Amino acid sequence: MKHRIINVQGNEITVIKTYDTDYISLTDMVRKFGSETILYNWLRNRNTIEFLGIWEQINNPGFNPVEFERFKNEAGLKSSTASL
C-alpha cells in the first residue's frame, strides 16, 4: 500500500494506492466544509450503509456479511455512530 497527497482547491487529500486501485480519503474531503460531522451523518444513513455493504461484497474477499448485518440494522438510529 502506497499513499500520496493531492491538492484540491487548496485542500490536501490523501490518496492510498492498493495494487492498481486508488482510494481517496472522504475525511480529508469533508474537512473543506469545516466539520467531519457531514461524514458521520452520511455514514448513519441506511442507503449509504447498504451501498457500502454491496461495495464490500464485490471488492473485499474478507468481507463478513453476518457482522455487516448488525451495522446495517443499526443504520439510521440516533444511537448509531461510525468511527473513522
15-58 pLDDT, tens per residue? 999 888 899 888 888 887 777 788 888 888 888 889 999 999 99
Q: Decide the pairing of beta strands 21-24 and 11-18.
A: antiparallel
Answer yes or no: is 1 within a domain. Answer: yes
What's the domain range around 57? 45-78
DSSP-assigned beta bridge partners for residue 23 = 16
- The answer to whether the pTM exceeds 0.85 is no
Q: Which range has the worst mean pLDDT, 8-12, 13-17, 67-71, 73-77? A: 73-77
- Look at the block and give the residue holding cell 464485490: 58
What domain count does the chain have? Answer: 2
**Statement to judge: residues 49 and 25 lie in one domain:** no
**Statement to judge: residues 28 and 50 lie in one domain:** no
Closest CA to 38 of 47, 21, 26, 49: 26
Neighbours of 49 (CB within 10 A): 21
